[in-house]
Structure 1
Amino acid sequence: GLTVVFVELGQEARVVGGALSEAIAEGVRKGYMEGYLRKSVVTQPYSARINTRDNTPPVIHYDVVPGDHLRLTVVPKGGGSENMSTLRMLVPADGRQGVVEFVVSCVDEAGANPCPPIIVGVGIGGTVEKATLLAKRALLRPVGQPSPNAEDAALEAELLSRINDLGIGPAGLGGRCTALAVHVETFPCHIASLPVAVNIQCHSARHKEAVL
């Protein structure tokens, strides 16, 4: 998949010897070349689509936090499930029920395409880009670990039940296990908005974290 890297950089830390983004890209390059992993990245996405042959560049998200550490979380994201992900700008009047219906409809329309059983990341609030990033980050939570927020945890439970009631099942062959988990992350938003993003992850949910 396309490599997504979440960087948590302590504000007291100092990176020397070159650009951090370049070092991360080099790590991705070595990992895919030396590990004989499939190279899935192409340039000029709407025309030439030429394979970069080393799976670079990665998508990097930075977050500056207190401390002197550097935390890297690496997530290879497959295209099949990413293609089924979506965003909708609901209106505040849609409320909780509108969120539920939108998320369930996304999974229903995706069907077998994201290779179920899936993990569903849901980002609610913020802005267009914040909601989608929340949904992506939600996929990093251990599978089935409920949100520490009781209201969000209740929403996760309802969504998981509704999604599994769809009967899509593993590989779309039918059954009760369409989703392994639904993880919801929220953020305050504008009084006129209710952004909701759904980021779907196939059952091959791999990620690795290192702290320096």
Structure 2
Amino acid sequence: MQCREPEDLQAALADATCRAMREAVITLPPDVKRAIEKARAGEKSSVARGEYGNIAQNILAAERLRVPLCQDTGVPVVYLTLPPSVPYSQALFDAVADGIRRATQEIPLRPNVVDPLTRHNSGDNTGVGMPAIHVRPGEKFTVTVLPKGAGAENVSRVVMLLPSQTGKIKEIVVETMLIAGGRPCPPVVLGVGIGGTFDGVTALAKEALLQPIDQMTEFEQQLCDAVNTLGIGPMGLGGSTTALAVKVKTAACHTASLPVAVNVQCWANRHATVEVEW
């Protein structure tokens, strides 16, 4: 087998990151499209049906014109899956950042990343801690991107419950959406993290958004049904579907705590995975 230089890996990862971002911001995953169509078919409100019509036109126009689904192309959240043959090094992070810079210029993406205090915009969606990169082991070398817009991110929430308060999880999920109202551009997808630690539970909630949304466990369906009793509906204008799905990801936690996080995502639950070839 021919040996490959580290530069080959970096170039391949940068290219895969750019391609994944392009796919994510332009084309919705099939399961998301199916969930939207199912909600549209079951909607009785004429106003809500009209909003679903607008969403459908939005999806088709983005695919036809090869432009982003939304002007808020989000901040880049990236998941790297590394097989044993890929060395873990700073070069991986540099390559992902290069891919995001390329995507920002070529797609193009709106430059959203700023310094939290000075509000200085980097102009290329990179900066300290950006893109947010999560690394995990796996059999294939892949890059997954999850562009996260601010409208939905800003109404997300983390709560530290007591271990005796498992019955409050549903209440927290529903209350989060009640407070959010129409701001996150519903119908939403809710990623719910349960367990872990204060910082880890938020990562669980966000990663839950990567799971297929056209199938839910009994618990997830219960949470989704509870949210849909709110009647917020598409774009907050009323309707039977406020949440397309609720997806839950759990982790073991301390015996004295019960962290719960809700990461809100708009109807455009954008994400894409590309295998890195090198």
Q: What is the TM-score when the length of structure 2 is the normalising length?
A: 0.69
> SS of the counterpart of 1:189?
coil
- Give the conservation status (yes or no) of the 8 Å contact 1:116–1:203: yes
Q: Corresponding residue for 1:75? A: 146
**2:85 alignment partner, SS class:** coil
Separation of aligned partners in 2, 1:15 and 1:124: 29
Pick one of 174, 188, 192 that aligns with 1:122. Answer: 192
Q: Distance in 1 between matches of 2:111 and 2:249?
A: 31
Equivalent residue, structure 1, for 2:136: 63
Tell me whether 1:157 sits opposite 2:228 in the alignment. Answer: no
What per-residue deviation string (whole Å, max 9, x for no partner) do you get for residues 172-195 of structure 1?
001111110000111111110100
* Structure 2 counterpart of 1:191: 255
1:141 alignment partner in structure 2: 211
2:54 alignment partner in structure 1: none
Of the three residues 180, 205, 208, the one matched with 2:269 is 205
Counterpart of 1:175 in structure 2 is 239
State the one-letter code of the partner of 2:113.
V
Counterpart selection for 1:5 from 78, 82, 87: 78
Deviations 1:79-126 (A, max 9, x none): 11000111000001111x210111110011110111101000000011
Instruction: Evaluate the alpha carbon distance shift between residue 29 and residue 86 of structure 1 in structure 2; reply closer, same or farther with a 3 A threshold.
Output: same
The 2-side partners of 1:188 and 1:36 are apart by 40
Distance between the aligned counterparts of 2:182 and 2:227, measured in 1? Answer: 13
SS at match of 2:172: helix
Q: Greater strand percent: which structure?
A: 1
Could you tell me how far apart the structure 1 residues matched to 2:215 and 2:221 are?
Answer: 11
The answer as to whether partners of 1:144 and 1:182 remain within 8 angstroms in 2 is no
> Alignment partner of 1:131: what SS?
helix
SS at match of 1:19: helix
Task: State the secondary structure of the residue aligned to 1:171.
Answer: helix
SS at match of 1:89: strand
For the aligned residues, what is the CA RMSD? 1.4
* Aligned pairs for 1:66-105 within 5 A: 67=139, 69-95=140-166, 97-105=167-175
* Offset of residue 35 of structure 1: 1.1
Correspondence for 1:37? 109
Aligned to 1:21: 93
Amino acid at match of 1:108: L
Q: What secondary structure does 1:76 align onto?
A: strand
TM-score (norm 1): 0.90
Residue 132 (structure 1) aligned with residue 202 (structure 2): yes
Partner of 1:150: none
Offset at 1:130?
1.6
Unmatched segments (≥5 aa) in structure 2 = 1-73
Number of residue pairs the alignment of both structures matches? 200
Overall identity of the aligned pairs, in %? 47
SS of equivalent residue, structure 2 residue 260: strand
- Give the helix-richer structure, 1 or 2: 2
The alpha carbon displacement at 1:14 in A equals: 3.3
